[in-house]
Amino acid sequence: MRRFIDELRRRGELAVVTRPVSPRHQLAAVTKAIQRAGEQAVLFENVEGSSFRVVSNLYGSHERLCRLINAGDRTFCQRWIELTDACLAGRDADVLDRADPAVDAQFHDGRLSDLPAITYHERDAGPYFTSAIFLAREPDSGVPNLSFHRSMQVSDTELRVRLGATHDLARYQAKAEARGEALEAALLLSCPPEIFLAACASLPYEASELVMAAEIAGGKIAMRPCKTIGLDVPASCDIVVEGRFLPGVRRPEGPFGEFMGNYVGVGDNHVFEVSHVSYRADALFHALVCGSPEDLRPLETVTAARVYRHVSAQVPGVLDVCCRPNVMISIIKIRKTYEGQGRHAILAALGSHLDYNKVVIVVDEDVDIYDLDDVMWAYMTRGRADTRAMILNDIPGFYRDPHKDHWGRLCIDATMPFGREAEFARKRIPGEDAIDLGEWLT
């Protein structure tokens, strides 16, 4: 984490806040203001009530995400699929290493209340861990899983955690609970980019996110043992909370402002019993505002890669996929070679991710799919509004949707009519991209 922050500072991608900031709402408000102004990460050096410095918006830039996975001249989708394929062919035994025992001396025993207690939104039930990554092992196979789950801070010994029903960790917990057993897990905070991004990956149940982290890092992952549970954790993570999910115990958790922009209400959710907390003396604390660019950009990019893989396997000419400005939309760029190709891409996309593809738009290769203005310009100017849009009724959407608010699909073929491309050529001003305003304005 600290090396990552130093690199952002060198690149001019880090804003620094030196004045005192309240962890209750104010830190989140300043973070949101910085996000509106650009894509800089932010370091808070003086957080009231805590000795920890806090960082946020580390992953709120698409370009930064491409750099972190060493995409080079490839799209994020293309590079992410390469990493995923390499991960599926790898094994934990080949990529995990035992850290030098001296590393343990860098960590100090502490309490949960030592960490910043950040309350983000107006109606949140209290402080939450939002960037924390749970590490647990499948009860039978021992395969490790990394995943994000919001965690409400209740006391030094208790967190209340919402486990999404479709997540692997929920399946691990259910399997242990059916046996009357607690599920041991470790909460990883302030992790390096390879751990954070690996936790974002959507892998098969039997695959290991630690192998994915090693692929992203381009080397082995050093592991150190926990003190109170039978798990090893990456030595590169600066803060580790050890504990276990209690079987057969549920307690009220929420409300909380989730990634879709509204509140998820109070529910009886899982109880995580904390047994140990350790952290490096100079650790930074990573705070993530749910629903902000830092939350959405990683989710959008890995979802786009999943859609890209599925669609490009069925339809020729797929160049890139984007899910901005929200993960519920997929925008597909194609090189069109036959009439109806855009509709073929739509049909393939609909089956690629049933949770998130609420809107699917297909555009030509000259459209910037990361600019929704450009995407909508293509729809408005390159053909009819009625015959190029399709509404599909009563198709289930996002899995957590009791009132069916996310049912149905909107599909738009915003490509130009096949065979008439010359009529829709964009106008250009020669040399416009080479203008340096600094040479013209005084």
The reported pLDDT for the residue numbered 379 is: 96
**Looking at residues 377-406, what average pLDDT do you find?**
87
Cα(162)–Cα(125) distance, rounded to whole angstroms?
13
Confidence bin at 187 (pLDDT 50/70/90)? very high
Question: So what's the pLDDT on residue 144?
Answer: 94
Taking only the tens place, the pLDDT of each residue in 402-427 is 888 888 899 999 999 999 999 999 99
pLDDT, tens digit (0-9, with 9 covering 90-100), for 38-81: 999 999 999 999 999 999 999 999 999 999 999 999 999 999 99
- Residue 66 resides in a domain: yes
| Within a domain: 64 | yes
By residue count, the chain amounts to 442
What mean pLDDT comes out for the span 346-352?
91
Verify that 188 and 269 share a domain, yes or no.
Answer: yes
Report the domain count for the chain: 2
* Neighbour count for residue 403 (Cβ, 10 Å): 6
What lies within 8 Å, CB to CB, of 10 at 6+ separation is none
Residue 351 and residue 218 share a domain: no
Q: What is the average per-residue pLDDT within 355-377? A: 94
CATH number at residue 216: 2.30.110.10
State the Cα–Cα distance between residues 8 and 13, nearest whole angstrom.
Answer: 5
- Output the pLDDT for position 94: 87
Provide the domain limits for residue 414: 314-418
- The rounded percent of the chain whose pLDDT value lies above 70 is 100
pLDDT at 157: 97
DSSP string, 352-403: T-TTT-SEEEEEETTS-TT-HHHHHHHHHHSS-SSTTEEEE-S----SS-TT
Residue 157: both structure tokens together: 């010994």
What percent of the chain is modeled with pLDDT above 90? 84
Is residue 26 in a domain? no
Express each pLDDT in 90-136 by its tens digit.
888 889 998 898 888 899 999 999 999 999 999 999 999 999 899 99
For residue 306, tell me if it sits in a domain: no
Which of 140, 130, 133, 210 minimizes the C-alpha distance to 172? 140
Cα angle vertex 170, ends 169, 175, to 5°? 95
Residues 196 and 88 in one domain: yes
Please choose, from the candidates 283, 255, 272, the residue with its C-alpha nearest in 3D space to the C-alpha of residue 110: 283
Give the pLDDT score at 326. Answer: 85
Q: Are residues 106 and 175 in the same domain?
A: yes
Q: Report whether pLDDT(355) > 90.
A: no
pLDDT (mean) for 201-214 = 94
Is the pLDDT at 353 greater than 90? The verdict is no
pLDDT at 286 over 80: yes
CA angle 167, 137, 69 (to 5 degrees): 70
Tokens describing residue 168: 């692997």
Please say whether the beta carbons of 162 and 270 come within 8 A: yes
- Residues 262, 203, single domain; the answer is yes
288-325: per-residue pLDDT in tens? 999 999 999 999 999 999 999 999 999 999 999 999 88
The DSSP output letter for 17 is: E
Q: What is the mean predicted confidence (pLDDT) over 264-274? A: 93
Tell me, what's the pLDDT at 419? 92
Tokens of 79: 């590079």
The radius of gyration computed from the CA coordinates of the chain, to the nearest angstrom, equals: 23
Residues 87 and 233 in one domain: yes
197 falls within a domain: yes
The per-residue pLDDT for 145 is 95
Query: Tokens in use for 227?
Result: 């003190």
Packing angle, helices 209-217 and 193-200, rounded to 10: 130
Same domain, 271 and 332: no
pLDDT value of residue 304: 95
Does residue 161 belong to any structural domain of this protein? yes
Residues 208 and 332 in one domain: no
Residue 302 within any structural domain of the chain = no
Residue 178 and residue 111 in one domain: yes
Residue 19's pLDDT is 96
Answer whether residue 356 is part of any domain.
Answer: yes
Tell me: do 261 and 327 sit in the same domain: no
Residue 204: what pLDDT?
A: 92
Residue with tokens 């003086």: 46
What is the Cβ-side half-sphere exposure of residue 344, based on CA atoms within 13 angstroms? 16
**Are residue 279 and residue 323 in the same domain, yes or no?**
no
* CATH number of residue 321's parent domain: 3.40.1670.10
**What's the pLDDT score for residue 376?**
96
Residue 442, pLDDT above cutoff 80 = no
The amino acid present at 361, given as its one-letter code, is I
CA 179 to chain centre: 32
Residues 382 and 258 in one domain: no
Least confident range from 46-55, 62-71, 255-264, 432-441: namely 255-264
* Residues in contact with 320: Cβ distance below 8 Å, sequence separation at least 6, in sequence order: 75, 77, 308, 332, 333, 369
> Residue 257: pLDDT band by 50, 70, 90 thresholds?
confident
300 vs 65: CA distance, rounded Å: 11
